[in-house]
Amino acid sequence: MKRYNYKAKEKETGKIVKGSVQAETESIAGRLLIDQGYIPQSITEEGTGFFASKSRVTTKDRIMFTRQLSTLIGAGLPLAVSLRTVSEQTQSKAMKSIVEEILASIESGKTLFDSFSQYPDVFNGVYLALIKAGEVSGTLDLALKRLADQEEKDAAMMSKIRGALVYPGIILVVIIAVLAFMMVMVVPQVKGLYEDMGEELPELTQILVNLSDFFGNFWWLVLIIVVAAVGGIWYAVKRTPTGRHIMDNFKLHAPLFGGLFRKLYVSRFARTAEMMLATGVPMLESVKIAINATSNVVVEEEYSKSLEPIKGGKPLSESIKERNYMLPLVPQMASIGEESGKIDEMLGKAAQVYENELDEQINSISTMIEPILMVIMAGLIGVVIGGTLLPIYSLVNSVAA
């Protein structure tokens, strides 16, 4: 169900009114307005047009919605009342609009799963599968709680990884700024000093002068190349399968960060499989959803090779044991779980181990990167200083002599 903004005239008074209405299509929205005593003048789907709002549902919005809905349903409130209460409490306009549309869909007779499925950009496959399982089994509040807990963990982990990358980014910006300042302000003065003295520039200084002249004369070309390169890489990674495949493969083999990403994907797989199985989702479907939850196409392709053996009756532990990028603890714990009948718990414990290791590794990488970047910065600045200040000292000494 979509939301349409309208401008209409009241039949009785002729007064012009504006508002919004929910309907499947624009023509249905028009009929609804006519039935309410309005003469439609314009009907526009919300979120379309060049100046449409770009507001979107954030991870935080989704977590808060899930947590609140779980609490209200667990307290015994009917689903419709719970959704209406959450809608009134939410501060996000985008989330509020979606909740209202879900409520309208449910009141029209659709299931919760079908209502949520209308928004695949907001509610992913894991979310929808748990909603469906919780709705069928009558444990919707527990399914929603598991969802909120997992999304909070995943968001916290990604925040830590981004935090580990922020500091190196700041240092690189400082390095570039210092080098740019010296190339623009210092190097040209050295060049002028040597020209006034009629001396020939040293080789290193001449290289720096040439670079300074190039960037000074063709800064616009450098800017175009940088913007085009960044834009091209972003488009390739976000919009093309080949670009995403290359980037996801790079993540798995990147120095320092490769091992970190592998543990992240394995922990996502194990944690998602735990949630699915604990909620009553069949094994094959649970593994499919857990594979998609890794959000890395290379890992998905490799892990998907385990689906055929599972279909053929092999246990999960044997099916995933030989897969690339699958760390050994998961099949080992799965094997123990299969023997004890607690495979979901064992997968959860394996995920917890790798999540703890991720925390430690992120802290270690942050500690390692700092001295490495300092050495790089010192080296680059040293080259510039060597090409500017040392020739000045040499020139002064030659004049004094």
DSSP for 94-133 reads: HHHHHHHHHHHHHHTT--HHHHHTT-TTTS-HHHHHHHHH
User: What is the rounded CA–CA span in Å between residue 363 and residue 357?
Assistant: 10
Evaluate whether 78 touches 45 at the Cβ level (below 8 Å). Answer: no
Confidence at residue 303, expressed as pLDDT on a 0 to 100 scale: 94
Residue 72 contacts by C-beta under 8 Å, 6 or more apart in sequence? 81, 82, 85, 86
**Residue 115 amino acid letter:** S
Q: How far is CA 125 from the centre of its chain?
A: 16
Confidence at residue 143, expressed as pLDDT on a 0 to 100 scale: 86
User: What is the rounded CA–CA span in Å between residue 3 and residue 181?
Assistant: 53
User: What is the rounded CA–CA span in Å between residue 24 and residue 201?
Assistant: 75
CA distances from 335 to 96, 262, 289, 319 (A): 44, 21, 20, 11
Confidence at residue 54, expressed as pLDDT on a 0 to 100 scale: 42
Confidence at residue 398, expressed as pLDDT on a 0 to 100 scale: 64
Residue 28 contacts by C-beta under 8 Å, 6 or more apart in sequence? none
Evaluate whether 188 touches 390 at the Cβ level (below 8 Å). Answer: no
pLDDT digits (tens, 9 = 90+) for 290-299: 998 888 999 9
Cα dihedral 370, 374, 375, 376 sign: positive
pLDDT digits (tens, 9 = 90+) for 78-126: 888 999 999 888 888 888 888 888 888 888 888 888 889 888 888 888 8
Q: Tally the residues of the chain.
A: 401
Closest CA to 164 of 301, 338, 339, 364: 364
Structure tokens, 280: 């009553």
Q: Domain 59-123: state its class.
A: mainly alpha
Cα dihedral 354, 359, 364, 369 sign: positive
**Residue 183 amino acid letter:** M
User: What is the rounded CA–CA span in Å between residue 373 and residue 353?
Assistant: 30
Confidence at residue 51, expressed as pLDDT on a 0 to 100 scale: 40
Structure tokens, 250: 């790079």
pLDDT digits (tens, 9 = 90+) for 317-339: 999 998 999 999 999 999 999 99
Q: Which residues of the chain have pLDDT under 70?
A: 1-3, 22, 24, 46-55, 199, 394-401
As a CATH number, domain 150-401 is: 1.20.81.30
pTM of the model: 0.71
Structure tokens, 322: 């030989």
Beta bridge partners of 9: 16, 39
Confidence at residue 400, expressed as pLDDT on a 0 to 100 scale: 56
Confidence at residue 326, expressed as pLDDT on a 0 to 100 scale: 94
CA distances from 331 to 316, 334, 335, 338, 345 (A): 7, 5, 6, 10, 13
